[in-house]
Amino acid sequence: DTGVSQNPRHKITKRGQNVTFRCDPISEHNRLYWYRQTLGQGPEFLTYFQNEAQLEKSRLLSDRFSAERPKGSFSTLEIQRTEQGDSAMYLCASSGDVYEQYFGPGTRLTVT
Amino acid sequence: AQSVTQLDSQVPVFEEAPVELRCNYSSSVSVYLFWYVQYPNQGLQLLLKYLSGSTLVKGINGFEAEFKKSETSFHLTKPSAHMSDAAEYFCVVSETYSSASKIIFGSGTRLSIRP
């Protein structure tokens, strides 16, 4: 069990550029979650996959955001036409049941 | 709608002193309750969880929490703080049998330990 990994750990981009983050969950976990965390706040739910199906999306997830989980393994989160307000820590978590989530270290996005 | 409130954004304690991090929630239905800890540059880690049964739950690193339904609280305690306990702590509430979007995190409490 190598835990949840996320890449890159840090990303600096200019406003208007597209960025993509990757999350590799714990291999036997079928549930995968994306959260966004800003300074001084707790994580906010973005989207949820069960296997390859995206079952839930938050209202926070504007049409500039898209997430995929092909084949029910790793997941990607893409942000198009980034804005300064997108600067945050993006967290990925996976779980085998509804009771405990295992979090990755996060990807810190800075939009300049 | 459910919500969770962590009453203190920062809690400083002396080493070996007792720790209490407060958490209150609101929900119209039954809930699951969790505490997660976030160390610098690391992912969030589950400390303990309340699903049902005994209202006093024990977690890792000597922490425990008591679910008090009448007070809608789930405060985290430890009898004696260690320097290694310095971290951010998040209280989480999830309505039972609900969707992933109903997992709500508090805003966090930063615990600092003074020697």
User: Could you identify the residue written with the tokens 């020697």?
Assistant: B115
Residues B66-81: b if buried by 16+ CB within 10 A, e if exposed: ebeeeebbbbbebeeb
Query: pLDDT tens digits for B66-94?
Result: 999 999 999 999 999 999 999 999 999 98
**Which region among A31-40, A81-90, A93-102 has the lowest average model confidence (pLDDT)?**
A93-102
How far is the C-alpha of A37 from the C-alpha of B40, rounded, in Å? 14
Taking an 8 Å cut-off on Cβ atoms, the answer to whether B103 and A45 are in contact is: yes
Asked if B90 is an interface residue toward chain A (Cβ–Cβ < 8 A), one would say yes
A with B: how many residue pairs have Cβ under 8 Å apart? Answer: 57
Six-digit token string for A112: 């300049």
Average pLDDT, integer, range B46-63: 93
- Nearest chain B residue to A101 by CA: give it: B46
Asked if B52 is an interface residue toward chain A (Cβ–Cβ < 8 A), one would say no
Query: pLDDT tens digits for A13-71?
Result: 999 999 999 999 999 999 999 999 998 899 999 999 999 999 999 887 889 999 999 98
Whether residue B97 has pLDDT greater than 70: no
Identify the pLDDT of residue A1.
Answer: 54
Confidence of residue B27 (pLDDT cuts 50, 70, 90): confident
Taking an 8 Å cut-off on Cβ atoms, the answer to whether B43 and A102 are in contact is: yes
Identify the pLDDT of residue B52.
Answer: 87
Note whether A98 and A30 are within 8 A (CB). no
Q: Which of B41, B46, B107 sits opposite A100 (nearest CB)?
A: B46
Among the listed residues B27, B51, B37, B53, the one whose alpha carbon sits nearest the alpha carbon of residue B91: B37
Identify the pLDDT of residue B16.
Answer: 97
Average pLDDT, integer, range B16-20: 98
Identify the pLDDT of residue A94.
Answer: 94
